[in-house]
Structure 1
Amino acid sequence: MKIDSRSFEMSKFVSAVPTSSDRMRDIHAVRWYVMVLPSCHKGPAKGLQEELKRRHRDREPLFEYFAPSYVEVKKRDGGFVETRRPLLYNYVFIHASEYEIYRMKQWLPQYNFLPRIKDGKHEYHPYLSEDAMRNLQWVADSYSNVVPVYTPKPERLIKGDRIRITEGQFKGAEASVIIQPGAGKRDIMVCVENYMWIPLLRVQPGQYEVISLNDSGKHVYTRLDNDRLLSKLHKALGRLYAPEGGGETEPDRQLAADTLKQYGNLRMDSDTMRCKLYALLLPAYTILGNREASEELIGTLQAMLPLIKAEQSRALLLTTLYGCTNSCLYHTQAHEIIDKWRQEESPKKSKQQLIQRLDDYDRWLGH
């Protein structure tokens, strides 16, 4: 992912011209001003971090700043290494007055305002409104919190899934899962296509990528069509997102724990049923605050999404991901599918439920 100053259209976020004619009053107004760093700057806003520490130590007025980043993942020595990079390259946002920022520039001269804008008799530095800043932070958080690269653990694969081998002698070859992991073994056995002399091969985590999911199995676990349980988990998430004074209850946590106990170790026999299973598990992990398990499952869902062809299954996963992560990426993708259903004369019950669930998440999360 590469984003530089040219790809960020600042004009979309600039607020209206100040209405006050009192210049002194204007320079003391606290706003989200847009600061720009030299083009050679590529690291985090360490200068602002140090200035905040100094002010806190000397008991001087503090300020807020926002320097969004994204996760960059590179493969190195057979593994993935994560680093954080500036999302907007050399833009930083400081919540302070012009007066305070000019004082700050005495110690941090590399931080500069964008050029002043003239509009009739008024002249001002570009800044963001509070609403625009909240939206920008929401978008940026969706990039910085995402799990960008993830290979589903072998125990999430089933017989009939197809993979592409990415390491070793058979790199690039496609294969089908024949034997699932078990008895303490984490690797899988696959049948390599177009290699008659090596029909079976043991593949370990990190040596493959999933290219398609088994969708030919019978829907054995019909109990996953549990609208009552889905509804209870959904309402529990609503209480979790409630403003101060709300929050999840002990019965909500017990419901989530019981859901994981009952469904956590199931292996579904098709992509459709896996979507239904994960739509139960991810809210349960979220309600319990199990961040490690949530991130692991989110990674699996991200790897699955491009392989899911059924529209309602994709909508179910995207809505679940949005409701459990508050990501603008999943918000947009879920709306792209579900908003079309609103135009249907009589959407079927399953579509109506997803429409309502998406509307609830929008309301609870403030979008």
Structure 2
Amino acid sequence: MDIGLTAQSEPRKWYVLNYIPTSMVKSERSAVMTLQRFNNLVGTDLEIFAPKICSVVNAAGKNIKVERPLTYHYVFVKGESLLVKQLCGMTNGFSFVLNRGNTQRYAVVGDKQMSDFKRIADRYKNLLPFFSLEDIDLEDGDKVEVIEGDFPGLVGYYFPKNKSTSGNIVLKVTQNLGTIAYDIKAKYVKVLEFSKNSRRGYDQIDAFIPKLYSALRKYNSREKLTDAEISVLTIFSRRMEVVAFNNHKIEAKLSAILMVANRILGNYDAESCARERFEKRLNSITSVMTKAFVALITAVADNNVDVYREGRLMMSLSGDERSKAYMQLLGEYEFYARQFNI
């Protein structure tokens, strides 16, 4: 077939197709069998992924998955565009899903996204929770990558559950359709970008600082950290190591924290990466209080009395004497005054 030979030079993509059977057989198998007949007839090797679709209903506070095979008719076919067009041009139930509001006419899914999608499908025995993205604002979630657990490598939008150490990850499948991975532990994800609609990133940094102070005191006195303390530092450092902030000031502060936390842990490669990032953003810091904070933790980590003195002087000029953060930092300066004989 000339069309098949011509198409071989084109890149293979995952196309989102409608599949509405032309007969009374309305099952996942019919889409697979129909495509197989096409492959046999034309001599092609189009791939198909046809998961069952279910929606999520909240009943009595619990998420219940309800199969709705006629709500969505989507299947996913990978192949060259000419061959997929030939498939959809026949009277067999397949048709393109148009990608409205996008320069690309037909809806496609990237290989990485499709791999993540299949991973979720495999975890849920091919019965996928689907929902319209019109029902959810992805910008309310943090963009994350899963690094442990059932979905390593999965990239999506993380929505933490109230009063819980876990959350759900939403994967955008098409322009208007998403699926979800439930109950992913927060410690298993690495943040790529915090939501623009929340202060979670700032709050997590602020909550970590007292734990860093405690670990730094032990590091300074050459006292061994407990497993729990090592775990806290490791999880924070791993979660925050690549997160992007639009604010260079907070990025500089975070980099300094990661630099010292990794020094305490003995992760010298990670410390070096954080230091390089910190040095790029160092001049962005304008807050006297933040400068004093960075001076304190780096002075202790490096045992540098001159940096300590500079930071102690900044404390008297900060004007934040009434804040809780100021009092905590002042307590650390007073604690280390004995070490530096001041």
Same fold (TM > 0.5)? no
TM-score by length of 2: 0.37
Q: Quick check: which has more Rg, 1 or 2?
A: 2
TM-score by length of 1: 0.35
Bigger RCO of structures 1 and 2 (CA < 8 A, at least 6 apart): 1
